[in-house]
Amino acid sequence: MVWKKLFMSLPIQIIKLAAVQNIMSRRTRIVWAGFAVAVSLTSGLLVLGDANGPRPLAMAPVIIGANGNSIMAREAKLDYRRWTAIVIHHSNTPAGDLSSVARLQGAADASGIGYHFVIGNGQGIADGSIEIANRWNRQEPGAHVASIAKSNSASSDTKLVANRRVPLADELNRHAIGICLIGNGDRRPFTTNQMSELASLVRRLQKEFNIPADQVYLHSDVAKVRSPGRFFSAAEFEAQLVQSKP
């Protein structure tokens, strides 16, 4: 690169100037010569670093907007036989991103997160932006549905499930795509952008994998939990699903 060439040539130009004009004392010339050697060594290390140094992790989390962006996995072909359902969660935190949610789940880094997608609220990642987890990139089963399954009979707090069999947690973790909204749905509603992008993402996943509407669940539908919280409007979400065009 141009800046590196200029940086590497700087010590030589300094020494030449000193020799021609003879304006520096012997001690000053020694100091500048030492500086020249140090800069040259640093420049050499920079060049070597460009050639053989570390690269950004190929599988670092990718941030997308749901509309008009690919949901293709990066390390495996889409597993059309695996994905038969979708489960929607919240992070139960006011802020966060894929890495912080993974830590809450006890994972050492973002690679261990149990979800497949995380949708930001502007506190951690941009409002409505979607982070794709490595589980999705590798087309791996999820680890996002609580092991305490809800009864198969419909109850008064059911949101999207109505008089239909509720799959067991293990079945959902193996076959359901986990989507996590950053935020606490028991304290405040999710942002307009989050709800819009969630609906767009769900519709695109439904279309790609032929997932019927009755296989889209809230976490509270299928386990004894409150996620995604009482402020998650199932009616609004269902209306947006109808309006969304993947």
Q: How far apart are CA 11 and CA 55, in angstroms?
A: 29
pLDDT of residue 34: 52
> For position 207, which CATH number holds?
3.40.80.10
- Dig out the tokens for 7 from the structure: 């940086």
pLDDT of residue 155: 41
pLDDT of residue 78: 95
Same domain, 83 and 203: yes
Same domain, 26 and 88: no
Question: Is 205 within a domain?
Answer: yes
More confident residue, 78 or 58: 78
Tens-place pLDDT, residues 25-75: 555 455 444 544 444 444 443 333 333 333 332 334 455 554 445 688 889
pLDDT of residue 239: 87
CB atoms inside a 10 Å sphere around CB 98? 27
Question: Is 57 within a domain?
Answer: no
Q: Which residues contact 85 (CB under 8 A, 6 or more apart)?
A: 167, 172, 175, 176, 177, 211, 215, 216, 217
User: Predicted confidence band at 245 (pLDDT cuts at 50, 70, 90)?
Assistant: low
pLDDT of residue 110: 72
Domain endpoint, select from 52, 72, 90: 52
Report pTM: 0.68
Same domain, 110 and 164: yes
Same domain, 45 and 145: no
- Dig out the tokens for 77 from the structure: 């072909």
How far is residue 133 CA from its own chain's centroid? Answer: 5
Same domain, 139 and 165: yes
Q: How far apart are CA 161 and CA 84, in angstroms?
A: 15
Instruction: Report in angstroms the alpha-carbon separations of 49 from 10, 43, 52, 202, 239.
Output: 20, 10, 5, 42, 53
Range(s) of the domain holding residue 43: 2-52
CA atoms within a 13 Å half-sphere pointing along the CA-CB vector of 69: 14
Question: Is 143 within a domain?
Answer: yes
Same domain, 14 and 66: no
pLDDT of residue 232: 97
Q: Evaluate the CA torsion angle 57, 59, 61, 65 in order and state its sign.
A: positive
Q: What is the mean pLDDT of the chain?
A: 75
The answer to whether 82 and 102 have CB atoms below 8 angstroms apart is no
Count how many domains the chain has. 2
Q: Mean of the pLDDT values across residues 137-143? A: 92
Phi, psi of 88 (to 5 degrees): -105, 135
The answer to whether 166 and 152 have CB atoms below 8 angstroms apart is yes
The answer to whether 197 and 67 have CB atoms below 8 angstroms apart is yes
More confident residue, 244 or 103: 103
Q: Mean of the pLDDT values across residues 91-106? A: 92
Same domain, 68 and 132: yes
Same domain, 99 and 35: no
Same domain, 195 and 101: yes
Beta bridge partners of 131: 63, 118
Same domain, 41 and 66: no
Same domain, 25 and 82: no
Q: Mean of the pLDDT values across residues 78-107? A: 93
- Dig out the tokens for 175 from the structure: 């076959």
Tens-place pLDDT, residues 167-225: 788 899 999 999 999 999 999 999 999 999 999 999 999 999 999 999 999 999 999 89
pLDDT of residue 244: 61
Q: Which residues contact 191 (CB under 8 A, 6 or more apart)?
A: 121, 122, 127, 128, 183
Same domain, 117 and 164: yes
